[in-house]
Amino acid sequence: MKKIIFVAILGLFSLTQFFSQSMLDSKTYAKVMGAVFEVVVEKTDSKNVTYERELPIDRIDFTIRNDKYVPIGTAFRTSDGTFFTAAHVITLFGESVYKDYYIRDTNGEVYKIDEITAFSTDRDFISFTVENFKGKKKNGFQIAKSIEPNSQVFSVGNAHGEGIIIRDGVFTSQTYESKNGEWRWLRFSAAASPGNSGGPLIKADGTVVGIITMKSENENLNYALPIEEAISAKKNVGVFSKRFNYVIPNIFNQKFYHESKTEIKLPKKLNDLQKSLTKIHNKNIEEIIEDIRKDYSPTSPKSFDNSSGKAEFLSSTYRIDFPYVLYLGETGHWDWAKPAKLNTYRLENNGYVEFGRMMNQVFSVIKKPDDISMKDLVSNPKIYMDYLAKATNLNRTMAGEKIQITSLGEPVKTDTHKDFFGRTWLVNYFSIDFADCMVLTYALPLPSGLFVIYSIGSTKTIKSESFHDLDFLTDFVYMSYQGKLKEWKEYLELPAEYAPRSADFESSIKIERGETTFEVKTDKIELSLPQEILKVDDDTTLFISNGYTKNDGKLGIENLSMGVYTDPKSENYTSFLIRYQNKPANDALEETKNFWTQLMREISPFNGIPTDNKQFTTIQKVIFPEGTTDENKEDIDHAYIYGTIMTCKNDKDVILEFSKKAQDCFKLKEAGK
């Protein structure tokens, strides 16, 4: 069931063509063709979607261009007037752009599916009625009394959406269903292509033996449900049975098995049944997610806060250009990751989209163009979805060509989500109606633009599952905040209605630029920098990095690093920063504990001595908490790393003097314990 990965959007199917095998006599052939139907849905018009160029509609087959419907499967009728198809042909649960389903006969007559009289999702069949059907009962299939192995059979169905096709083969064997052996599938060698689902498997005399359901994954055999299983099912009862593995994107070592079974009283109108089953399915998914959160949310028993490697997370503060995601690897250890390959798509006016794929999602950082305001970018999700559509090459296949999608239009649904640490994500759903697909985006405003995670899949999957996945995933995103001061100004002035900053470490950030002093305040670090020490301007960059901390035993995020740097390409490049460093726990990796020892002993490069490195001179030192002595160093639980970088090679006095003045501009508060 999970997950559908959207690579290229398929084109439309073609209308009915007919082909028969000579093994069926003309009378049987005519009866078969009168008892088998296409299952079709009405074409949807994606007026919201735009393309890089005009779609080559004129090169599509004439019948497809002029067909008002899209064929999706096959149905047939038995002599008692009952219609059958496979359960998976019709969306019984979950949202879809297709609200109504129809059958179409070989004369092109279309009838709306009305009531569902019986179904079983595990046996994969539905029986139903249609509105105002004109055919006579006697024209339906008679039920075969029996069938012997090695008998000739025929698959009948809407193969590849190209009309009702009859193909011959052999009934080879029967095999038990995999869980409890409650029934036996029919296995046969007659060809069955996509679109054949729900069609009849018949004998040479035209009697039906089964409902075609699926292909074997490992061999050239196809499966059908014995027709007796459908006929003998409880009358006016539907069995909604689901067995599947649910997968969380950043938990690699565990699939979460779920099994449920519910009986539904029938008959019901198809739309009413869909609503009932969707409600049941969504509740099942919510229960799965709730159970997963009990074990794997950030402070839960199996999450990183209680893992053997938690010391590394609590001892690390990174300044990063692209956010990390914490994940549980197949070996059972938590770690950080970003996409292995990052691509850059250039936008006009100094903007860009940097993106990569991992965990079945697309992760992206959007640097806003200079001519787009932060307010417009954040309040108009169409803008950033247009950037992502072009950058990640969303396309539609038509007449053998891939035509790039340039816009998905306005979102069809807008929401917000507050993650475990209080960050508010902007949530938007974009519809791709012609493929019954959606794009789901979770965006977090940054000083220079947006961080966006997006998922693409069927409407059903996005609406019932994917938003749960991304809700969960946002709890594990680790990021830095950086931008030029002119970008910070726009970011901090964003109205709360567009970009609510509900997390304490976000809302605590304050910036003031006076004529004589530049001031920055966060929850844990404050900077008061006289302009005479360093002249800051609109293009000066400020970065603030987060770290995980414990406050009264509660896991949180705090601003544990701050730095300022001027244009790296200027002749007088200057950078200085300060970073909070926790003492690692006893169970930390030796590498982490050795780094702490290096700090405590003030071993190079943390000895305060300037070092030339290519065109720059650097200096790093350790700032110990007030009252620290050589005798009590072993007892302190944190320290600060301070560093400066300047273009003053071979002039050590310059960097030493600046470093001392800039260091004195910081005021440090105790981080959470």
In the chain, where are the structural domains located?
A: 26-292, 503-673
Going through 43-195 in order, the beta strands assigned E by DSSP cover 50-51, 69-77, 83-85, 102-104, 110-120, 125-130, 151-158, 164-176, 184-188
DSSP conformational letter for 661: H
Burial grade of 213 (CB within 10 A; 0-12, 13-18, 19 or more): buried
CA–CA separation, 470 and 579 (whole Å)? 30
Other residues' Cβ atoms within 10 Å of the Cβ of residue 189: 17
H and E: helices and strands count for the chain? 13, 39
Q: What is the pLDDT of residue 20?
A: 40
| Closest by CA position to 162, among listed 57, 16, 305 | 16
Distances (CA, A) of 340 to 191, 324, 343, 497: 41, 11, 10, 35
Q: What is the pLDDT of residue 13?
A: 31
Pair 137, 126: CB distance under 8 Å: no
The token duo for 390 is 């072009």
The token duo for 177 is 């269903």
- CA 98, 101, 104 angle in degrees (round to 5)? 135
Going through 55-163 in order, the beta strands assigned E by DSSP cover 69-77, 83-85, 102-104, 110-120, 125-130, 151-158
CA–CA separation, 472 and 246 (whole Å)? 13
- The residues, any chain, with a CB within 8 Å of residue 433's CB and separated by 6 or more, are 44, 45, 46, 48, 49, 97
DSSP conformational letter for 3: -
The three-class DSSP label of residue 483 is: strand
| Tens of pLDDT, residues 251-274 | 999 999 999 999 999 999 999 999
**Single-letter amino acid, residue 198:** G
- At the top level of CATH, the class of 26-292 is mainly beta
Q: What is the pLDDT of residue 499?
A: 86
Write out residues in the chain with pLDDT < 50, as ranges. 1-22
Parallel, antiparallel or unpaired: strands 110-120 and 50-51: unpaired
- The residues, any chain, with a CB within 8 Å of residue 490's CB and separated by 6 or more, are 373, 374, 375, 447
The three-class DSSP label of residue 503 is: coil
The answer to whether the pTM exceeds 0.75 is yes
CA–CA separation, 423 and 503 (whole Å)? 5
Other residues' Cβ atoms within 10 Å of the Cβ of residue 173: 13
Q: What is the pLDDT of residue 217?
A: 64
| Closest by CA position to 644, among listed 633, 632, 658 | 658
- The residues, any chain, with a CB within 8 Å of residue 155's CB and separated by 6 or more, are 166, 167, 169, 188, 190, 191, 192, 196, 199, 201, 212, 222
- The residues, any chain, with a CB within 8 Å of residue 629's CB and separated by 6 or more, are none
The three-class DSSP label of residue 207 is: coil
Pair 195, 157: CB distance under 8 Å: yes
Pair 113, 101: CB distance under 8 Å: yes
DSSP string covering 422-456: SPEEEEEEEEEGGGTEEEEEEEEEETTEEEEEEEE
DSSP conformational letter for 13: P
State the first-to-last Cα distance of the chain, in angstroms, to the nearest integer.
43
